[in-house]
């Protein structure tokens, strides 16, 4: 029997999601420890799953990871269908300028930060969090992969490019090194206040107060320079996973904490291109050995779990009763799977 499964978030999950958000700590702006804001996100997710889509807009898909025995919610993840629709999606582009003086024999490469919103019309992976008590399992990988199966099944709901903002560096007191060395000079408020305002959808203060000229990186404090494009230790496993799936850092960073933004065309993602549809051929009581796969139903009431199956032939699949119950499928129904 699968130990955990993925499903869409419900209103009654609000308290459990809030508990996860409180564990997450600073820098998880897409998982705010704010009951009203979380409730709003869950309601938007429910509406998005039921919405008829011709092209991606501001939809938000929120998933939770639940144990099959105790029904405890131990993780979550989400997808924003298209960023930059309601308000600009700001980043810094780290560009390089070559400075040359022939007379002095000097050639220097200088990095500059340009405020841009180049990722308009990209889909965003966000809000991935797994309870610390379960991080030595494969559940983090499950949380990441499940979103790719959903995107593969419903490509019309998403943009051609996927991005993920990785959490930047924070000190032991929860302060952002990048914020303290740069943004504080312009905003004169704490990181957490600015991040919360941005999460609420108030982006106007960014365009009002951010410097309009490029920022020369060598003029920033050394400790600020050192964290540009660096990922928080807790986010390194997620970054490595995304890189294996095809994501790359293209020198865009978060404007508040300096963490890297990684991106990939959907058509090049391993889990999208290699996941396969199959038909449920048989449902049996128990499968004790076989191939380990990640399997999902093909419904907007999306369910995903890790399970064992016998050899798959001619896109016909045999699953056990526990897996069928979790996925809410019967013989003849379509499923999607990939090796796990």
Measure the CA–CA gap between 294 and 146, rounded to whole angstroms. Answer: 8
pLDDT band at 204 (very low <50, low <70, confident <90, very high): confident
Asked whether the predicted pLDDT for residue 200 surpasses 80, the reply is no
Instruction: Quote the domain boundaries for residue 12.
Output: 4-93+115-271
Q: State the average pLDDT over residues 309-320.
A: 92
Residue 304: give its domain's CATH number. 2.40.40.20
Please check whether residues 75 and 176 belong to one and the same domain.
yes
Residue at which a domain ends, from 232, 249, 271: 271
Residue 204: give its domain's CATH number. 3.40.630.30
Asked whether the predicted pLDDT for residue 178 surpasses 90, the reply is yes
Please check whether residues 144 and 280 belong to one and the same domain.
no
Residue 172 lies in a domain: yes
Specify the DSSP class assigned to residue 182.
I
24-54 residue pLDDT tens: 876 677 898 889 999 999 999 999 999 999 8
- List the one residue out of 265, 266, 260 whose CA is nearest residue 238: 260
Please check whether residues 285 and 267 belong to one and the same domain.
no
Residue 218 lies in a domain: yes
What is the number of structural domains in the chain?
A: 2
Residue 149 lies in a domain: yes
255 φ, ψ to 5°? -75, -15
109-136 residue pLDDT tens: 999 999 999 998 899 999 999 999 998 8
Measure the CA–CA gap between 148 and 150, rounded to whole angstroms. Answer: 5
Residue at which a domain ends, from 250, 271, 292: 271
Residues identified as active-site: 232
Residue 100 lies in a domain: no
Q: Yes or no: say if 39 and 23 are a contact pair by the CB < 8 Å rule.
A: no
Q: Which two tokens stand for residue 286?
A: 């128990």
- pLDDT at residue number 1: 65
Residue 102 lies in a domain: no
Q: How far is CA 116 from the centre of its chain?
A: 21
Helix, strand, coil percent content, the chain, rounded in steps of 5: 35, 30, 35
Residue at which a domain ends, from 249, 271, 293: 271
Measure the CA–CA gap between 177 and 27, rounded to whole angstroms. Answer: 12
Residue 99 lies in a domain: no
Q: State the average pLDDT over residues 91-100.
A: 93
Please check whether residues 53 and 174 belong to one and the same domain.
yes
pLDDT band at 2 (very low <50, low <70, confident <90, very high): confident
Could you give the percent of the chain with pLDDT greater than 70? 99
Please check whether residues 159 and 207 belong to one and the same domain.
yes
Q: State the average pLDDT over residues 90-113.
A: 92
Please check whether residues 125 and 157 belong to one and the same domain.
yes
Cα torsion for 311, 314, 320, 322, to the nearest 10°?
A: 120
Residue 207 lies in a domain: yes
Q: What is the CA radius of gyration of the chain?
A: 22
- pLDDT at residue number 305: 97
Is residue 235 classed as helix, strand or coil in its secondary structure? helix
pTM to 2 decimals?
0.93
User: Worst-scoring range by mean pLDDT, 171-185, 198-212, 254-268, 311-325?
Assistant: 198-212
Q: Which two tokens stand for residue 9?
A: 């978030």
- List the one residue out of 228, 233, 336, 221 whose CA is nearest residue 275: 336
């Amino acid at each position: 029997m699968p130990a955990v499964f993925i499903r869409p978030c419900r209103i009654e999950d609000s308290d459990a999601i809030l508990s996860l958000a409180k564990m997450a700590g600073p820098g998880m702006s897409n998982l705010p420890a704010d009951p009203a804001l979380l409730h709003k996100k869950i309601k938007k997710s429910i509406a998005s799953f039921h919405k008829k889509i011709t092209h991606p807009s501001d939809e938000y898909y929120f998933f939770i990871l639940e144990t099959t025995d105790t029904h405890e919610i131990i993780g979550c993840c989400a997808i924003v269908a298209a960023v930059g629709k309601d308000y600009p999606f700001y980043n810094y582009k780290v560009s390089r300028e070559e400075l040359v003086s022939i007379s002095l024999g000097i050639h220097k490469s200088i990095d500059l930060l340009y405020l841009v919103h180049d990722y308009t019309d990209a889909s965003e992976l966000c809000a991935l969090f797994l309870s610390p008590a379960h991080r030595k399992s494969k559940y983090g990988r499950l949380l990441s992969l499940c979103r790719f199966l959903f995107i593969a099944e419903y490509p019309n709901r998403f943009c051609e490019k996927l991005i993920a903002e990785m959490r930047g560096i924070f000190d032991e007191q929860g302060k952002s090194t990048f914020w303290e060395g740069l943004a504080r000079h312009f905003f004169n408020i704490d990181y957490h206040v600015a991040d919360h305002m941005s999460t609420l959808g108030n982006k106007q203060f960014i365009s009002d107060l951010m410097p309009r000229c490029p920022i020369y990186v060598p003029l920033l404090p050394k400790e600020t320079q050192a964290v540009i494009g660096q990922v928080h230790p807790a986010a390194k496993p997620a970054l490595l996973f995304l890189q294996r799936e095809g994501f790359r850092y293209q020198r865009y960073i978060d404007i508040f904490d300096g963490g890297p933004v990684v991106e990939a065309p959907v058509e090049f993602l391993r889990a999208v291109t290699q996941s396969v549809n199959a038909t449920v051929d048989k449902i049996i009581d128990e499968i004790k050995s076989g191939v380990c796969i990640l399997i999902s139903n093909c419904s907007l009431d999306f369910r995903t779990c890790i399970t064992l199956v016998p050899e798959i032939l001619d896109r016909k699949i045999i699953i056990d009763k526990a897996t069928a119950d979790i996925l809410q499928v019967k013989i003849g129904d379509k499923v999607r799977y990939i090796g796990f």
